[in-house]
Chains A and B, each alone.
Chain A
Amino acid sequence: MITIEDIDRLAALAGIRIDPAFVAGVAQAMETLLAQGRLLTDPPLAAEIEPAAVFRP
């Protein structure tokens, strides 16, 4: 459960100002995002799997 306090703390650490009126919505969106994020980290990936390349020299 992501709380308003969690978002306030994260935003302060990242140097991002979020209007108090919007924090509850951000907490809800973060809850959804982290639920998706958990699918990315469990089970862990093999070390040889690299990130997809974006940069093209």
Chain B
Amino acid sequence: MILLDRPIAIAGARSIARAVRSGELSAVAVIEDRLERIARLNPRLNAFTNILEDRALAEAAAVDALVAAGRDPGPLAGVPFGVKDNYDVAGRVTTAGSIINLKLPPAHEDAVLVRRLTNAGAILVGTQNMDEFAYGFTTENAHYGATRNPRDAGRSAGGSSGGSAAAVAAGLVDFSLGTDTNGSIRVPSSFCGVFGLKPTFGRLPRTGTFPFVHDLDHLGPFANSADDLALVYDAIQGFDAGDAACAQRRADPVSASLAAANDGLRVAVLDGWFHDNADDQGRAAVRTVADALGATGRVTLHGAERARAAAFVLTSASGGNLHAEALAERAEDFDPATRSRLLAGLLLPANLVLQAQRVRLLFQAEVSAAFRDHDLLLAPATPCAAPLLGQPTIGVAGRDVATRPNIGLLTQPLSFVGLPIVAVPVAGAGMPIGVQIVAPPWAEALALQTAARLEREGVVGLEAANP
């Protein structure tokens, strides 16, 4: 069932900002349009958990006032966006998809990235559904319901940032912010057919977001084009002392150089683990992208399976540790899908946790070696396209495996070593699937430029809002 039932007049962050900045379109009109669309489609999609109508309209009016006064309203003037429910929004409790957090006081200020976007003129219209505490890949939340895929309402939107990706794919907002610990931006990008950026670990400050695994958590945006992704990325970069893991690096703006030719790139397809655990559609999507980039090489990252296992173990142990008090006092209030894994994580031998951190360094060396000979690496984002909601198993490498723990097979090893990755959507006969463009640390610009080139050539990207 297709839920995208009408085109919206002006879509895309850059187009909206241009129209609003020039006075051709009012920010209030844009927000009213999106609020109407959300009211109509969200009851079925369940992408948003809260709509911030009053705030959005007030901020839009303020943007229009700046334009009327001849002042600069910012590069994202009037662009509607949403954030995953683990970002602080002033005056609201940051639930992180749980009911456990409802006991917390409301946030006293917005998360740093939300503040930066607001300062750039973007308009926050609501918070978005997710797996409880970001521990999942399907956004089938026991408390807040499942988010449905806008391209097929019977299918998963992916997770854990499922609401954020679905909202962009359905044209409810023009970009969203999500988080990615093990694949939670790249998986929903793949399932919903949108672009997603997981920057280098430490690039974007997580100040004002609810954590999951401190040394694996990343923040990043979703959008319907590489250009919009870059525009948003440029607005949110920069150091913030509130996040101990945030690197003290200067912002590295990419929008202005998005059309860079980057001729002669050495691009290789990831073989081994990343080939063996993908289905035919995923392999074909990678081949399509590789052919467009003239990639002929193949690289096997030895130890990818181990790296994935290490990420799996660390996640459970760290998540269990983070929620130990609530697990002792209110275990019954957790989503059953989350509870068992967090409790098991609490019982893991320390030996395995330390071993996982050792595996991390070993795999980092393996990846660094691969980037000595290649500029970019390619891999499918998910083992398959979006499964049905509630589907218990997926086919991987010729066998049926449990859906929920295995959707991240191809994302986990790469985020484990903090690499910047752009997930790009490749159309399929039915549902789309994502391809990961993997760059060396701090080379987000190269991955975004490559995504933009592929989009210009018509290799990636979908007509999301115009069915």
Contact = CB atoms under 8 A, between A and B. Distances in A.
Contacts, number: 94
Interface residues of B, number: 41
A54 to B, nearest CB: 5
B10 interface: no
Given A16-B346, A25-B340, A29-B343, A36 B309 contact: yes
B313 A26 contact: no
Interface stretch (B40-48, B257-265, B348-356): B348-356
B71 interface: no
A40 B356 contact: yes
Contacts of A7: 347
Contacts of B291: none
B331 interface: yes
Interface in A13-27: 14, 16-19, 22, 25-26
Contacts of B351: 41
Contact of B309 (A10, A29, A39): A39
Give the secondary structure class of A's interface.
Answer: helix
Given A26-B343, A40-B306, A54-B215, A33 B312 contact: yes
Contacts of B308: 36
A1 interface: no
A22 B348 contact: no
A33 B316 contact: yes
A37 to B, nearest CB: 4
B277 to A, nearest CB: 14
A45 B328 contact: no
A51 B309 contact: no
Given A37-B348, A40-B310, 6 more contacts: A14-B347, A16-B328, A29-B316, A32-B405, A33-B313, A40-B309
11 contacts: A19-B332, A22-B339, A22-B343, A29-B340, A29-B343, A33-B313, A33-B341, A36-B308, A40-B306, A52-B357, A54-B215
